[in-house]
């Protein structure tokens, strides 16, 4: 029997995609810090997050047009639509994730909101199996469950559904449903579009939903100080352009299920940031949970 080795170039691309995914997770975790220092309500902050990122994405898309040509699944003469509706729809899904995620952060701890939002692997795996017919190796599923167990150990003592955190925790869990759907949607459309094209038009779709919601909720859209504006700019550039852009790039080369599990590194980073900036200190149990998450991610990657 002949075995076929994975080309070195392919291995290298997968490695860099994995690194990009880790960096994207770190950038997303920083979003919680920027949001905590934002002077605006959660949905209004989310509006700035995508609105300030949109021109950056379109500029980057123009610059990357030659280096990363669009791939089409149709005939060579077939052109992509001027306004890619499917990418707008991806943005509609992300708007639900973003609004709920930002809202949950104001009602629960930084670690809680990040953990619950990153339970998305469960919904990605279920969606991939039910709607795409994908099968997963037992080792991969074990790694996923191991990482999720570590995540619960990390902040399990804070998940008190009878406390004042209940509403924020429930919103964080609902965020996971939307985020899992978003990751699947991006992985499906990413093969036909450049990374920046996906992010630019999906951000437009997100803004179409979030702006009316913010206005209807009566939330202020005017930051009061330069520092408040800088926090919104950092939220857009670091967390949305950097974080979501790197994740979208990785999703073109890595399975959505593996990517969603790898993103469980985010609550680890968020918990460390919470300990350093907001005095949400780690116990020995929380530290063990963080280590278990890392082992689970490595195991899932090994069997993906």
User: Which of 7-21, 51-65, 115-129, 164-178 is most confident?
Assistant: 51-65
- Residue range of the domain that includes 198: 24-66+82-302
Q: What percent of the chain has pLDDT over 70?
A: 85
Residue 98 lies in a domain: yes
Q: Are 108 and 163 in contact (CB under 8 A)?
A: no
Residue 253 lies in a domain: yes
User: Which of 139-143, 274-278, 282-286 is most confident?
Assistant: 139-143
Name the more confident of 126 and 53. Answer: 53
Structural domain count of the chain: 1
Render pLDDT for 134-174 as a digit per residue (tens, 0 to 9). Answer: 889 999 999 999 999 988 887 766 666 556 778 888 888 89
Render pLDDT for 40-54 as a digit per residue (tens, 0 to 9). Answer: 988 899 999 999 999
Helix axes 195-216, 53-64, angle to 10 degrees: 170
Question: How far is residue 230 CA from its own chain's centroid?
Answer: 22
Cβ burial 93-106 (10 Å sphere, 16+ → b, else e): bbbbbbbbbbbbbb
> Residue for token digits 């075995």?
3
Tell me the HSE value of 237 on the side-chain side, using a 13 A CA sphere. 6
Name the more confident of 182 and 78. Answer: 182
**132: which 2 tokens?**
């795409």
Residue 158 lies in a domain: yes
Residue 218, sorted as left (phi over 0), alpha (psi -120 to 50) or beta, turns out to be left
> Residue for token digits 């979208």?
248
CA distance 206 to 237: 16
DSSP E strands, 114-273:
none
CA distance 37 to 235: 10
First to last CA, the chain: 23
Residue 5 lies in a domain: no
Residue 14 lies in a domain: no
What integer is the mean pLDDT of 271-297?
A: 79
Burial category of 116 from C-beta neighbours within 10 Å (exposed 0-12, middle 13-18, buried 19 and up):
buried
Q: Has residue 58 got a pLDDT over 90?
A: yes
Name the more confident of 157 and 255. Answer: 255
Residue 3 lies in a domain: no
- What is the longest distance spanned by two Cα atoms in the chain? 69
The DSSP line for 216-266 is: HTT-----SSHHHHHHHHHIIIIIIIIIIHHHHHHHTTS-HHHHHHHTTHH
Residue 72 lies in a domain: no
CA distance 210 to 217: 10
Q: Has residue 81 got a pLDDT over 80?
A: no
Helix axes 110-117, 265-278, angle to 10 degrees: 170
User: Which of 57-61, 98-102, 116-120, 171-175 is most confident?
Assistant: 57-61
């Amino acid at each position: 029997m002949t075995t076929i080795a994975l080309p070195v170039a392919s291995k290298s691309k997968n490695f860099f995609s994995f690194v990009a995914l880790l960096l994207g997770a770190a950038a997303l975790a920083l979003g919680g810090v920027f949001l905590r220092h934002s002077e605006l309500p959660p949905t209004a902050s989310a509006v700035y997050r995508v609105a300030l990122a949109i021109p950056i994405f379109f500029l980057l898309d123009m610059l990357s047009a030659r280096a990363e040509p669009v791939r089409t699944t149709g005939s060579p003469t077939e052109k992509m639509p001027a306004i890619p509706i499917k990418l707008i729809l991806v943005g509609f899904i992300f708007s639900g994730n973003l609004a709920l995620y930002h809202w949950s952060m104001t009602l629960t701890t930084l670690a809680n909101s990040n953990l619950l939002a990153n339970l998305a692997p469960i919904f990605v795996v279920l969606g991939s199996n039910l709607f795409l017919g994908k099968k997963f190796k037992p080792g991969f599923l074990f790694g996923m469950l191991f990482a999720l167990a570590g995540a619960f150990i990390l902040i399990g003592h804070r998940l008190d559904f009878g406390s004042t955190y209940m509403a924020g925790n429930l919103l964080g869990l609902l965020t996971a449903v939307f985020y899992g759907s978003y990751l699947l949607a991006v992985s499906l459309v990413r093969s036909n579009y450049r990374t920046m094209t996906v992010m630019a038009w999906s951000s437009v779709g997100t803004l179409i939903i979030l702006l009316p919601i913010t206005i209807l909720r009566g939330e202020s859209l005017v930051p009061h100080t330069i520092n408040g504006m800088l926090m919104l700019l950092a939220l857009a550039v670091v967390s949305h352009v950097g974080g979501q852009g790197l994740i979208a790039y990785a999703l073109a080369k890595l399975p959505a299920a593996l990517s969603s599990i790898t993103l469980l590194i985010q609550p680890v980073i968020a918990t460390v940031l919470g300990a350093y900036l907001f005095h949400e200190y780690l116990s020995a149990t929380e530290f063990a949970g963080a280590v278990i998450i890392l082992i689970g991610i490595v195991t899932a990657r090994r069997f993906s």
